[in-house]
Amino acid sequence: MAFTRANKIVLHHQVVGREGAPVLVFANSLGSDFRIWQEIVPSFADRYRIVLYDKRGHGLSDAPCGPYTIDDHTEDLLALLDHLHVENAALVGLSVGGMIAQRIAVKAPARVRALVLCDTAAKIGTPDSWAERIAAVEASGIEDIADSVMQRWFTPSFRATRPAEWKGWRNMLVRTPVQGYVGTCAAIRDADLTTDAARITVPTLCLAGDQDGSTPPDLVRHTAGLIHGARFNIVEEAGHIPCIEQPHATARLIDQHLREAGHV
Ligand SMILES: O=C(O)CCC(=O)CC(=O)O
């Protein structure tokens, strides 16, 4: 793992896999850090150079004062890729990570070879729902909303059969810096990528957990419909974070898409 100053903040990141190979970048969701990808990274490490990073306000990256914008997050990732001398990559983004990926595909199309948009959309939530969440977290911390978030993140079966993991991922959520969490809520609140989505030209796969309570399958399917030629797939028995709950099925879909996109 490494720390780099990029776009005026310190970003925590890790580069693994095969030197000189095509690059695969993973961008995480609200309230999570790059550990969510650990189960699927081995499926790609022999054929790709893999970049994992904690977006601003999350994990071990800096959490500057908010509110943030999707463009702050976008500039962070582009600056990190510059630092790592990555000219172009396939971007795999979960939820707000998928919003960052959509925006980069439009702002810097030469940097993007393919997209995998996991449990995300061109627009997530409403200004009112984000205002309510920001107010609750500012007043009482993430602990106060954690159980309802976890219900959206994971299926009841995951909680029942893997209770220690469920608790561990809950720990990750509640340990997210409040400033980073609400800063990123504001970024999602203010982002409407509907116009951007229609301008995406790279091969795109949208996927959704069948029981995603944050960005339900119909919302993700709608976003796929905005993107020229995008494919849509469901991951069975998964909530909002299929890379944790169903890593093999998720990796298989990503792998198939990257092969079809010629990013191998
Ligand atoms: O996960 C994200 O990046 C945003 C979507 C969301 O609201 C997740 C949650 O339900 O907390």
Taking 3-state DSSP, the helix, strand and coil percentages for the chain, each rounded to the nearest 5, stand at 45, 20, 35
Do the Cβ atoms of 242 and 249 come closer than 8 Å? yes
Locate 183 and state its tokens. Answer: 């800063």
Do the Cβ atoms of 210 and 234 come closer than 8 Å? yes
Pairing of β 2-6 and β 23-27:
unpaired
The CA distance from 122 to 108, in Å, is 17
Residue nearest (by alpha carbon) to ligand 1 atom 6: 214
**Average pLDDT value for residue range 29-50:** 98
Residue nearest (by alpha carbon) to ligand 1 atom 7: 214
Do the Cβ atoms of 9 and 64 come closer than 8 Å? yes
Mutation probe of ligand 1 site: the residue of 118, 123, 188 with most atoms within 8 A of C-beta = 188
- Whether pLDDT at 77 is above 90: yes
**Average pLDDT value for residue range 12-26:** 97
Domain residue ranges of the chain, discontinuous segments joined by +: 2-260
How large is the ipTM? 0.96
pLDDT of residue 8: 97
| Confidence band, pLDDT 50/70/90 cuts, at residue 86 | very high
**Average pLDDT value for residue range 162-167:** 98
Per-residue model confidence as pLDDT tens digits over 173-213: 999 999 999 999 999 999 999 999 999 999 999 999 999 99
pLDDT of residue 204: 98
Q: Which residues line ligand 1 (CB under 6 A)?
A: 29-31, 95-96, 124, 149, 152, 188, 214, 240
The mean pLDDT of the chain is 98
Locate 153 and state its tokens. Answer: 């993140």
Neighbouring CB atoms inside 10 A of 162's CB total: 15
Per-residue model confidence as pLDDT tens digits over 2-18: 999 999 999 999 999 99
125 CA distance to ligand 1 centroid (A)?
9
Map residue 55 onto helix, strand or coil.
coil
Neighbouring CB atoms inside 10 A of 73's CB total: 26
Ligand 1 atom showing the smallest separation from residue 213 Cα: 10
- Whether pLDDT at 264 is above 90: no
- CA-nearest of 131, 150, 117, 149 to 222 is 117
Strands (E) across 100-240 are located at 112-118, 204-209, 231-235
CATH number 3.40.50.1820 given to 2-260: yes
Provide the total of helices (H) and of strands (E) in the chain, helices listed first: 11, 8
